[in-house]
Amino acid sequence: MVNLLELLPEELDDQVVAWGLERYRGRQLAAWIWQKGVTTFEAMSDIPRAVREFLATRAEVRLPCILEKQAAADGEAVKYLLGLADGNAIECVLMQYRYGFSLCLSTQVGCRMGCRFCASAAAGWVRNLTAGEMAGQVLAIRRDTGADIRRIVLMGIGEPLDNFAATCKFLRMATAPRGLGISPRRITLSTCGLVPRIYDLANEGLPVTLAVSLHAPDDRLRDFLVPINRRYPLRELLAACRAYAASTGRRVTFEYALVAGVNDSVGHARQLANLVRGMPSHVNLIRLNRVEGRDFIAPGPRRVAVFRRILEQEGIAVTVRRELGASVNAACGQLRRRFAARKPLEESVARG
């Protein structure tokens, strides 16, 4: 069975022709799937019954299933644990801002980058997601909530650029007028710094916002916090970011998770300012989410304010990320980690 979510709109046109159907049936199917979120052929009322019955023998529209969800007390965020067809699980988070809904989605089952304070890495890497599994997260959450999701953040479980081909295909699905129809300017892709892939992304004609998980202003500290830095040090990473900004016309966002006693000093703030000065960029300060099994903690509000003020005094564009959904334990990867821990026990009980 062909999962139609794996096909770009133009590929869907070609597929229906290959099945001996009229090309315009692809346009009809795309409208039902992408715009209306309909996943059963029986409900596609403007397609003749005989064609619907034929499609049901050849194709499906497969979404991930909702295994668990946690809503924040303030109603501003809902975290989902989603089940995939092979029994694996991923996470995504729906966030509500004054401008509307944004969805933070996953690109891999687990992650192999090994960042020190990341729950996604702690649970290990299993496999890449397909483009359709990424798109399925958007459609599944839209179906569950009715939310008009107009912004997407690839900042959930996984390193998007470590799954480059599928991520780029998903971005084309998301931005296609006959797909999700979301402007590239409303999509953010977060990377820990796979330098060659940043150059590749700049050449894809997909001018999404690039967010780099920086977290340290010097190589020695970043080698420890973000191990990929040992392969692609800051000098190479910053050069790639400058090239991306020049190619796309988009400023780069630098994500900086503040860890008490590790990277939050006045000296660190001044080093960070020197590092990014002169680049079209923006620094997003994040108070670290607590992760089970990790000793790192966030600094207090006063420490965060001092760090921010120093960057502002140095002429750096900076914001402190608004904390959404703290009550749903929003550190990415923690729901999946618990799911992975209890799954062997449940299977053992089932076997008796």
255 assigned to active site:
no
CA 124 to chain centroid, in Å, comes to 17
CB 332 within 8 A of CB 118: yes
Q: Which residues pair with 154 in a beta bridge?
A: 189
Q: How many whole angstroms separate alpha carbon 10 and alpha carbon 146?
A: 27
- Going by C-alpha positions, the residue among 111, 113, 112 that lies closest to residue 222 is 113
Q: Cα angle vertex 112, ends 180, 234, to 5°?
A: 90
Structure tokens belonging to residue 224? 């420890």
In the set 6, 91, 133, 159, the catalytic residue is 91
- For residue 128, the one-letter residue type is N
Q: How many whole angstroms separate alpha carbon 50 and alpha carbon 232?
A: 56
In the set 92, 118, 241, 332, the catalytic residue is 332
CA 218 to chain centroid, in Å, comes to 26
241 assigned to active site:
no
| Helices 195-202 and 164-175: angle between axes, nearest 10 degrees | 30
CA quadruple 88, 162, 115, 243: dihedral, nearest 10: -150
**What amino acid positions are annotated as catalytic residues?**
91, 332
